[in-house]
Amino acid sequence: MGEFVRVEVADRIATIRLDRPKMNALNGQVQQEIGEAARLVDADPVVQAVILYGGERVFAAGADIKEMADMSYADMSAHSRTLQDCFTAVARIGKPVIAAISGYALGGGCELALCADFRVAGEGAKLGQPEILLGIIPGAGGTQRLPRLVGPSKAKDLIFSGRHVTAEEALSIGLVDKVVADDQVYTAALEWASTFAAGPTIALRAAKQAVDQGLEVDLDTGLEIERLQFSGLFATEDAKVGMRAFAEKTKPKFTGN
């Protein structure tokens, strides 16, 4: 439990909750606590799925500009590695991760949402990478994860202009996966996460690693990654449970072994 980031676990679902009033500005401490929370839920055998949540009013409005304004090149050169490492820890959680987005997800807040596997946004949500308006560029993965998600042209539009997009536009370009009423954001994310809560832990991790690692390599290498993950799962008890349940026409009860 950090000062501004806490982890709550119920029914095998962990919620990483940002709580730094008023706008969940992502200063250095919050970034560190996000990384610690990510590593915690990744290692917790009880946790099957994860929700990133900033509360009912805002997901995260971005980095703490007042903190950054006084940084020199040398300062940021050192800090930027820590910043990226904290967000990468979220992207590498080996379980399904859903960002529940209410209000603003801007700058670092948008980059944090990009680290999730899925994004649920409220109707009134606004997303964007406005760093260009400060004379800088995204530094927590925005120039890399955003084009991989929505394509280079749409990513450049958002990054070059710094404009905010509505939830409706975000859905249309693939930046979010689902739009719901503002007061249903967390509930919708929880319902989605619950579909993974009884799943085969090792297979879900293998599937996520195969997809994510495969996106970074050529097709032949990606197929080899898939082959090795696929073959390795035949050493798990869950594979035996799943195939036995299929043959017997019963619901599998996976154990995570």
Per-residue pLDDT, 68 = 83
- Cβ 238 vs Cβ 201: under 8 Å: yes
Q: What is the mean pLDDT of each run of 10 residues along the chain (257 residues)?
A: 93 97 92 96 97 96 83 87 93 98 96 98 97 94 97 98 98 98 98 95 96 96 97 95 94 90
The catalytic residue among 36, 67, 131, 216 is: 131
- Cβ 15 vs Cβ 48: under 8 Å: no
Per-residue pLDDT, 15 = 98
Residue 111 a catalytic site member: yes
The catalytic residue among 8, 36, 67, 111 is: 111
Per-residue pLDDT, 156 = 98
pTM for this entry: 0.94
Closest CA to 147 of 137, 132, 157, 139: 157
Residue 191 a catalytic site member: no
